[in-house]
Amino acid sequence: MPETYDVRQRTFIKVPEVKHCAACGQPLPSDVKPFNNHMSRYVSVEGVVSVMNSNEDSIEIKQGNAVVKLYKVTGKDPLTNKEISSFLPPTPKPSTPTK
């Protein structure tokens, strides 16, 4: 638990740790597996970057019925300077109509 020092009482105040969903920001229930010691940056398909305490190449975040898949950041795009991942699935090319 994180602790903060209370100057008036001259003691430490123990504040319970609240974990939040990386996709939506909602507080997660207490039965979520404990964190490990690997802090990695993850990017979603939409391009949202978040820092998660995991060392997996891709992780899924489940919140109710919604599932968001995040991919580990492996570098930066030299043209746009945005973080990218080599684990992202390839985007399908739109097919051209034929007669």
CA pair distance 39, 43, nearest whole angstrom:
13
Please write down the HEC assignment for all residues of 53-94: ECCCCEEEEEECCEEEEEEECCEECCCCCCEECCCCCCCCCC
Task: Say whether pLDDT at 34 is over 70.
Answer: no
Mean pLDDT of 70-80: 90
Give the model's pLDDT for residue 1: 43
CA pair distance 54, 23, nearest whole angstrom:
15
Domain ranges in the chain are 3-83
CA atoms within 13 A on the CB side of 25: 1
Give the model's pLDDT for residue 15: 63
Mean pLDDT of 48-59: 86
pLDDT band at residue 53 under the 50/70/90 scheme: confident
